[in-house]
Structure 1
């Protein structure tokens, strides 16, 4: 196994990790920003107010994008698993 192959495998796994984190965390960050702007405009200083909307949006995002993310993960895993004989030999 050459260093280039290792770097390609690592790059694919790293890219998939970044994609998964962006899809899952991104909408929660946007909702947190909107709630924070609402709190600043109305001067409501409740720290727990933004927790529930972010939680609900994160759960909804997992329900909507979860199958697609799982498919991408399984594609990477299957590609790595089928490449093992070539990588070892």
Structure 2
């Protein structure tokens, strides 16, 4: 296994991790921004107010895109196992 192959696998793993985490992070960021905007407009300073909408939003995103995430991760893992003989030999 050469250095180039290791870097290629690591880069591919980071891209997959970014693709899988992006929907959850973007949803959490958007909901957090909207809740903080609402809190600043209404002068409500409750720290736990943002937790429930974020939890619901992340749950919805996982239900909607969970199947896609699972298939992406499965394809990556199958690709790694398919490359294993060529990496070792």
Q: TM-score range by the shorter chain?
A: over 0.9
The residue aligned with 1:29 is 29
Which consecutive unaligned segments of at least 5 residues does structure 2 have?
Answer: none
The residue aligned with 1:18 is 18
For residues 72 and 24 of structure 1, what CA distance do their matches in structure 2 show? 15
Which consecutive unaligned segments of at least 5 residues does structure 1 have?
Answer: none
1:71 aligns with 2:71: yes
For residues 85 and 23 of structure 1, what CA distance do their matches in structure 2 show? 34
What's the TM-score once normalised by structure 1's chain length? 0.96
Normalized per residue, which structure has more helix?
Answer: 2
What's the TM-score once normalised by structure 2's chain length? 0.96
